Amino acid sequence: MGMDRREFIKWCSLLAVGSMLGGCRKLPFVGDAAKKDLPSLKMFEAEVRRAMSKPSHRMELVRVPMPGRLKTPGASLENRFGMAIDLDACDGCGKCILACIQENNIPLVTEDEAAKGRFMHWIEMRGGVPFMCAHCGNAPCERACPTGAANHTPDGLSAMMYKRCTGSRYCGANCPEHARKFNFNDAVQQGLSLKFNDKVPVRSKGVMEKCSLCLHRLQDDRLEVKTAGGVWRGRGVNTACAEACPKKAIVFGNWLDPDSPLVKVARRRDLYAPADLAGFDPSIVYMMGGK
């Protein structure tokens, strides 16, 4: 080596800095990628069709009793929200998926991810069965979340607090049915996101998301009823997917309210849940037969 120590250190530092900067390819001096155009609704529809065309196998379903009160301390005695999906009526049209996308500002994914079949949709078709986060009463994902971003409301929702998420993805690893989606991309910056609905925040890069049971609709309704001084049972609220289903196969309601359309329908049918989730007290169940 012909150089002395000082020069050696200088060259090493330059090499180090250069390497790291070389890795950060989108720095301003390299040329910032121009903010892309907004996607169109057609692109979202096309992506839903693409997602549904991917082969997927049906989940194993087992009989479960009708969900009741949450077993956690402090659970509400009046409200436990959930859904029942009638598999005899569902024909796998996918309108629920598109409605969910528009209600919750769900972004598109890049071509790589789409090719692998990894989409951000909160509802997925698995062998013709629409599947979304089951809002388990005893959720393994909530136990695992280090920051408390994944938690359970007293009225039965498995809530996801995006600002408290640090992106460890431990919850995602702990969901037996892979219901959770991670924001690998900065959707807004990459032109993958369209803000369909002002009431729902667009998630930033690096946080987990999943079906929220239209928490924003429930919140707005609760606030209005409580402002008027009433007791809130969530009557009259419907999720976007339930509204969109042309066969009325998805029914949303309150498991603890005997007048809820959910209870009225589910009472007469056999209820099923994915085998992997049945032990975790899911709030979203399937209905087959048993009429």
Count the residues of the shown chain that bind another protein, applying the rule CB under 8 A: 73
**Interaction of residue 254 with another protein, rule CB under 8 A:** no
Site for another protein in 203-222 (CB under 8 A): 204-208, 212, 215-216, 219
Candidate residues 16, 33, 46, 115; the one interacting with another protein per rule CB under 8 A: 16
Short-list 60, 80, 235, 96, CA closest to 153: 80
Short-list 263, 289, 234, 274, CA closest to 68: 263
**Interaction of residue 240 with another protein, rule CB under 8 A:** no
**Interaction of residue 157 with another protein, rule CB under 8 A:** yes
Residues 139, 158 contacting (CB under 8 angstroms): yes
Closer of 53 and 219 to another protein (Cβ): 219
**Interaction of residue 264 with another protein, rule CB under 8 A:** no
Closer of 44 and 182 to another protein (Cβ): 182
Residue identified by tokens 């925040």 is 201
Candidate residues 140, 191, 243, 270; the one interacting with another protein per rule CB under 8 A: 140
Short-list 70, 66, 101, 90, CA closest to 260: 66
Closer of 126 and 169 to another protein (Cβ): 169
Closest distance of CB 3 from another protein, Å? 11
Please tell me the total number of residues recorded for the chain in this structure: 291
**Interaction of residue 144 with another protein, rule CB under 8 A:** yes
Query: Which x/- pattern over 21-60 shows residues binding another protein (rule: CB under 8 A)?
Result: xxxxxx----------------------------------
Helices and strands, number each (H, E), in the chain:
9, 11
Candidate residues 32, 34, 37, 227; the one interacting with another protein per rule CB under 8 A: 227
Residues 189, 37 contacting (CB under 8 angstroms): no
* Chain centroid to CA 163: 15
Residues 138, 281 contacting (CB under 8 angstroms): yes
Closest distance of CB 246 from another protein, Å? 27
**What is the rounded CA–CA span in Å between residue 148 and residue 162?**
11
Closer of 226 and 264 to another protein (Cβ): 226
Site for another protein in 103-132 (CB under 8 A): 113, 116, 118
**What is the rounded CA–CA span in Å between residue 230 and residue 236?**
14
Residues 141, 150 contacting (CB under 8 angstroms): yes
**Interaction of residue 191 with another protein, rule CB under 8 A:** no
**Interaction of residue 193 with another protein, rule CB under 8 A:** no
Closer of 203 and 269 to another protein (Cβ): 203
Candidate residues 56, 102, 168, 197; the one interacting with another protein per rule CB under 8 A: 168
Q: Phi/psi zone of residue 33: left (φ > 0), alpha (ψ -120 to 50 degrees), beta? A: beta
Q: What is the DSSP string of 173-204?
A: HT-TT---EE--S-TTTTT------TTSPPPP
**Interaction of residue 196 with another protein, rule CB under 8 A:** no
